[in-house]
Amino acid sequence: MVRINSTSGHEAAIRQHLLGELRRLGCRPSVDKKGNIHAVLTGALAHGPTILFNAHMDTVVPGENVRPKVLSDRIVSDGTTILGADDKAGLAGILEMLALLQEKNVLFHKIKIILTVEEEIGLRGAKALLFPAVRADYCFVLDSDGAVGSIVNQSPAQEVLTFKVRGKSAHAGLNPEDGVNAIKIAGLAISQIPSGRLDGETTANVGSVRGGTASNIVPDETIVVTEARSRSEKKLQKQVRGMLHAFRSAAKKLGGSVEIERRREYEAIKQPKNSAIVRVTKIAARRLGLPHTVASSGGGSDASIIFGYGVPTVGLGIGMENVHSKQEYITLRNLTVLPQYLLALLEAAHDYERRRRSK
């Protein structure tokens, strides 16, 4: 699959491939208006949990014309592109799990599969999902680094703030005193904003500054795009308030104005270690003799959107390493054991729910 070009916004070829594979494996997949693939499998059990497996179809750039190389213990690219294990290892794991379901004749109640588009450019596919599609008792998102058996149970909420700073243009040599420099306003505001890693839960960044047209014109507009993330809502809002105050104060001090666009990108994930879904991942890992680790992440994924609907969700380590780089790789061991782990999760979830109902 890594040979199939599928950079964000160009998933048509990989989508057609996956639709064919899903049909071959007994599914009746559908495609929503955004281009996401949906499939539902109803098993032989009348009762039991609904399990949702999610991965995304797109890759980052440079992700075209990937030429994978199989080494003794891992798969890499030829060094001119990414490999695309993010997230085609997740896609492959789901497909192989479905094959194992048929081969082993595993009993289950209901499985949902959602494969999204444009995850890498803002979770756009996941944001187009509606609650009925994601409704499930457990959701496993195959999109985290780390060995198979590791999980991500916490990740931050994110807010993006775009500041359109307005000043007043003037000739920089003839009458600069008549101008109000929008870049200076932005610079003053940025200098007042803490950024980088603020603490163990919180980060902030000034990601883009655009303004000015020529050296002889006092710039009358500058656009600054910033973000803040935190696993603590209190800390996130404190950082956002500080950013808002910095720009408003700078504009007032230097005689300009500022328009602000504030956008909530996704919610924080906080899945307690004693929750049913975390326990199920631990049971499944033990059955296969895999180390089970629980970690937090500083990034967002489709898991952030699905968890925001109230669905118990964790991210699964799928063995991909050095993602978003030409040094990306995945070990053969992780690639092989991943579908077995997904099957173990399915069985562990049914066993856990059966025991819980019998109490």
Reply yes or no on whether 347 is catalytic: no
The whole domain housing 120 covers 11-155+268-358
Mean pLDDT over 62-71 rounds to 97
Which stretches of the chain are DSSP H helices? Answer: 12-24, 85-104, 124-127, 131-134, 182-191, 233-254, 276-287, 302-308, 332-358
Give CA–CA dist 30/40, Å, rounded: 9
Same domain flag for 177 and 82: no
Same domain flag for 249 and 191: yes
β-pair type (110-116, 50-56): parallel
Same domain flag for 142 and 29: yes
Give CA–CA dist 323/60, Å, rounded: 9
Tokens representing 95 are 């497909």
Tokens representing 135 are 């409704």
Q: What percent of the chain has pLDDT over 70?
A: 100
Q: How far is CA 168 from CA 60, 136, 260, in A?
A: 39, 54, 18
Overall size of the chain counted in residues: 359
Same domain flag for 21 and 149: yes
Residue 222's identity, in one-letter code, is T
**Domain presence at residue 140:** yes
The reported pLDDT for the residue numbered 358 is 82
Is 267 annotated in some ligand binding site?
A: no
Same domain flag for 261 and 288: no
Q: Quick: pLDDT tens for 318-336.
A: 999 999 999 999 999 999 9
Q: Which of 266, 289, 324 is the last residue of a domain?
A: 266
Q: Quick: pLDDT tens for 111-139.
A: 999 999 999 999 999 999 999 999 999 99
Q: How far is CA 252 from CA 162, 185, 189, in A?
A: 18, 9, 11
Is 265 annotated in some ligand binding site?
A: no
Question: Catalytic one among 119, 159, 221, 321?
Answer: 119
Q: Quick: pLDDT tens for 243-271.
A: 999 999 999 999 999 999 999 999 999 99
Query: Which residues make beta-bridge pairs with 294?
Result: 151
The reported pLDDT for the residue numbered 357 is 84
Contact 13, 88 (CB under 8 A): no
Is 120 annotated in some ligand binding site?
A: yes
Same domain flag for 128 and 187: no
Q: What is the number of domains present in the chain?
A: 2
**Domain presence at residue 4:** no
